[in-house]
Structures are given as structure tokens and as C-alpha cells.
């Protein structure tokens, strides 16, 4: 099933341009993160994909979640893995459709989109160069089997979280840098005094990180 999406073409056109894929959170839609597309670097294709599970009234989910459960029972893993592979197919589809530099694919995920961004990058590090994981956490059960043997040396991650996040506890996110250390990827982790969202300072920091990396 093809994913619905929005695209902002690069303002600076190269022979092949890098791509930023925006993955929204649970209960949101493709418009959400796309609202700051105009603020993102001019040389990127900025593409916002919409999750496949329709929850009505403009709300979509990448997979079902159980709000009153702990970290291990929070997510429907089968649906999450299906969405992981849908997104990977979608990336290939975009590379065929637009002049995108296949070595310059970055994921920007919020909440559920961030959790999936980790799973995609760990599963297919040869396809993803950068992950910006906003208000998410690492769940290795969503990655493909045997992902540990892959080469992550070219992967860079910017992770951020609100210290008073009422949806995904900051403690879950704080484990991520340590958990990723054995894989040898470069991880930047920042916290902000906010809830489940992206503050202007958070946006400024990840945009700066994107320009520097």
C-alpha cells in the first residue's frame, strides 16, 4: 500500500539532492511536521509521509500503542515492523521518483516516528545517514533480526526529549545513547524543559546539527 505524502522540493537544485523524510507521531498526520518544512535547509527534498493506520478525523498511526503499559508492552511490534518495511520501500520509491542522493537520506521522526526511525536506521544503516529522533526512544525489538552485525560507522544520530514528557518518560530516552554506544555510531543527546513536543530551541539545535553534519 503506497503511503500518502507531501513534498517540498529543494530550493537549491543540485544534480542529486539530499532527502529529509519526516515521520509524524501517533494520532497525527503528514501535515504536522511538514508545517516547519520551509524552515529546513534549502538543499533538501523535504518529504512528509503519512502513517497507514487511519484512526479517523485526520489522525493516523504507524502502529497501535497501549498507553497504560510499560516500555516493553507499549507497542504492537508486528505492526511496527510492517510500518518499518513500508517506510523503507517508500524511501526507495522516492529515490526512483526524484533525483535524490541515495547516500544522503536523513530521517526526522517525532514520538512514534522517532522510535521507527531508530528501527529503520539499525535495520538498514546502508540506506540511512542521519536520524533526528525527537521525543522517542530505542526499541531494538523493532529492528530486523541480526542487525547487530551491520556497519553503523557512517550513521549519526541527534536525539532529544522533554524532561517533563507525560507520554514517553524521559528515562526511556536517556537509555538510548548508552544502548547505541557498542555500535560505534555518533550520538548527540539533548534534553529540554518541555513536555511531549518540540520547543523552538530544540528545533534550532537539530537544524544546526543537520547543517554541521
Which residues in the chain come in under a pLDDT of 50?
none
pLDDT for the residue numbered 65: 80
Kindly state the cell numbers that stand for 59.
489522525
Decide: 122 and 143 in contact? Cβ < 8 Å.
yes
Q: Determine phi and psi for 60, rounding to 5 degrees.
A: -135, 155
pLDDT for the residue numbered 75: 75
pLDDT for the residue numbered 67: 65
Closest CA to 159 of 175, 148, 183, 147: 175
Handedness of CA 206, 7, 77, 128 (dihedral sign): negative
Give the chain's domains with CATH numbers: 5-212 (3.40.50.1820)
Closest CA to 139 of 77, 188, 59: 77
The residues, any chain, with a CB within 8 Å of residue 135's CB and separated by 6 or more, are 25, 110, 111, 114, 160, 161, 162, 165, 167, 168, 173, 196, 197, 198
Decide: 94 and 17 in contact? Cβ < 8 Å.
no
pLDDT for the residue numbered 130: 97
Give pLDDT tens digits for 128-172. Answer: 999 999 999 999 999 999 999 999 999 999 999 999 999 999 999
pLDDT for the residue numbered 69: 60
pLDDT for the residue numbered 2: 84
pLDDT for the residue numbered 73: 62
Amino acid at each position: 500500500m503506497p503511503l500518502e505524502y507531501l513534498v517540498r522540493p529543494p530550493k537549491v537544485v543540485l544534480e542529486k539532492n539530499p532527502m529529509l523524510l519526516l515521520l509524524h507521531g501517533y494520532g497525527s498526520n503528514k501535515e504536522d511536521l511538514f508545517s516547519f518544512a520551509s524552515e529546513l535547509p534549502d538543499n533538501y527534498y523535504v518529504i512528509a509521509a503519512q502513517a497507514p493506520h487511519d484512526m479517523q478525523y485526520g489522525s493516523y498511526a504507524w502502529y497501535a500503542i497501549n498507553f497504560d503499559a510499560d516500555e516493553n508492552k507499549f507497542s504492537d511490534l508486528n505492526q511496527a515492523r510492517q510500518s518499518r518495511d513500508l517506510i523503507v520501500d517508500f524511501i526507495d520509491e522516492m529515490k526512483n521518483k526524484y533525483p535524490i542522493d541515495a547516500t544522503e537520506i536523513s530521517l526526522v521522526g517525532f514520538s512514534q516516528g522517532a522510535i521507527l526511525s531508530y528501527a529503520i536506521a539499525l535495520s538498514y544503516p546502508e540506506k540511512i545517514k542521519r536520524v533526528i529522533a525527537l521525543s522517542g526512544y530505542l526499541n531494538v525489538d523493532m529492528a530486523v533480526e541480526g542487525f547487530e552485525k551491520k556497519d553503523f560507522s557512517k550513521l549519526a544520530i541527534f536525539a532529544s526529549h522533554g524532561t517533563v514528557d507525560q507520554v514517553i518518560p524521559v528515562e526511556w530516552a536517556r537509555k538510548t545513547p548508552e544502548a547505541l554506544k557498542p555500535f560505534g555510531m555518533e550520538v548527540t543527546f539533548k534534553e529540554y524543559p518541555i513536555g511531549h513536543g518540540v520547543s523552538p530551541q530544540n528545533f534550532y539545535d537539530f537544524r544546526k546539527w543537520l547543517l554541521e553534519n
